[in-house]
């Protein structure tokens, strides 16, 4: 049985919500990075980001390219405990261009409830 969760209930929900705020400052970015285990892996960009430093570098570069963004999503807890969020996002890049993008995030948590692996599948690429 899968369970659909209300927004902001899981680490994945907090990650997606903080993404919108992380483009505006270090406080939200720090809160977002604190959701990851020290040895976590993030598979969103062309190359996976590993560990706290790699994930921080990836996130800083990603959020620096955006002036603002807004995500909408729905999270499901799968039978094996994996979190799955279908999401869409509209964003303004720092060059003023507008994009829309969508995907499905998959997150596994460690024993402390931190994200150990985050993997994204784009269903709509930026454009």
Question: How confident is residue 2, by pLDDT bands cut at 50, 70 and 90?
Answer: very low
What was the pLDDT predicted at 9? 86
The CA distance from 28 to 45, in Å, is 21
Q: What are phi and psi of 126, to 5 degrees?
A: -50, 135
The domains found in the chain, sorted by start residue, are 3-124 (3.10.450.50)
Question: How confident is residue 45, by pLDDT bands cut at 50, 70 and 90?
Answer: confident
**pLDDT tops 50 at residue 5:** no
The model's pLDDT over 47-94, given as tens digits with 9 standing for 90+, comes to 999 999 999 999 999 999 999 999 999 999 999 999 999 999 999 999
């Amino acid at each position: 049985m899968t369970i659909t969760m209300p927004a902001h209930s899981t680490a994945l929900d907090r990650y997606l919500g903080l993404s919108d705020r992380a483009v505006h400052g270090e406080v939200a970015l720090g809160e977002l990075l604190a959701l990851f285990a020290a040895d976590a892996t993030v598979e969103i960009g062309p190359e996976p980001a590993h560990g706290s430093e790699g994930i921080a570098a990836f996130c800083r570069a990603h959020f620096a390219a955006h002036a603002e963004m807004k995500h909408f999503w729905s999270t499901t807890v799968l039978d094996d405990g994996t979190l799955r969020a279908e999401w869409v996002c509209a964003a303004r890049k720092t060059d003023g261009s507008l994009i829309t993008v969508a995907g499905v995030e998959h997150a596994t948590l460690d024993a402390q409830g931190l994200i150990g692996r985050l993997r994204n599948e784009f269903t709509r690429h930026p454009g």
